[in-house]
Amino acid sequence: MDDIREEIVEDRGAIKKLQLLFPGYHGYRVNEDLRDADIYLKNELYKKMLNIIENLKLAEQALVSNGIFRDLERIGIVRSRIQALAGEIRHHEAGYSGISPPVRIGKDKISALYDLDMKIYDDIVKLDEGVKNFKDSCSSGNYDFSILSSIDVTINDLMSLNSSRDRLLYGGV
């Protein structure tokens, strides 16, 4: 995935460019653009997670169609964990940088949040590949339980990365 921060900067309109000329407003504009890039990235992550959930549902349907009913509960638990994680990712704090915020979140921290979300993106891509492989194995009737186990590991990795977000943003407060 390309760096959205650069696209946000390139897409600045006349008003945003004018805001950059004022010393007291320059930092605010830069931070808000970084924040917007992170919000856009989080929305993309959420959409990708919804697609993963849909593929897992298709895998369940393929198993049932092939008359394989074992471990459907486990698949449901995995799907539920992915849905919960998707909701958390969607509702992450974006590090408000307002003109006079109660907690100052500078451009370095907002950029670090974006970088963390890119690491989350990499793990989501890995999760997506695992779920697609699982769906393919279910569709062919050769249900491979080990793929589901590797999906669990990736979910745990994502949850760990996800939980580090608040520590990064607020320093464990």
Can you read off the two tokens belonging to residue 74? 């486990």
Quickly state the pLDDT bin for 55 (edges 50, 70, 90). Answer: very high
- Interval 128-160: pLDDT, tens: 999 999 999 988 877 787 898 999 999 999 999
Residues 29-56 have a mean pLDDT of: 87
The predicted structure's pLDDT at residue 82: 95
> Hunting for tokens 């921060």 — which residue is that?
5
The predicted structure's pLDDT at residue 173: 46
Residue 79 has pLDDT above 90, yes or no: yes
Average per-residue pLDDT in the chain? 81
- Interval 87-120: pLDDT, tens: 988 887 655 555 555 556 677 887 888 888 889 9
The predicted structure's pLDDT at residue 80: 94
Angstrom distance (rounded) from CA 75 to CA 64? 12
Among 40-49, 56-65, 74-83, 140-149, the minimum mean pLDDT is found in: 140-149
Who's near 85: CB < 8 A, 6+ residues apart? 49, 155, 158, 159, 162
Angstrom distance (rounded) from CA 135 to CA 148? 10
Confidence (pTM): 0.78
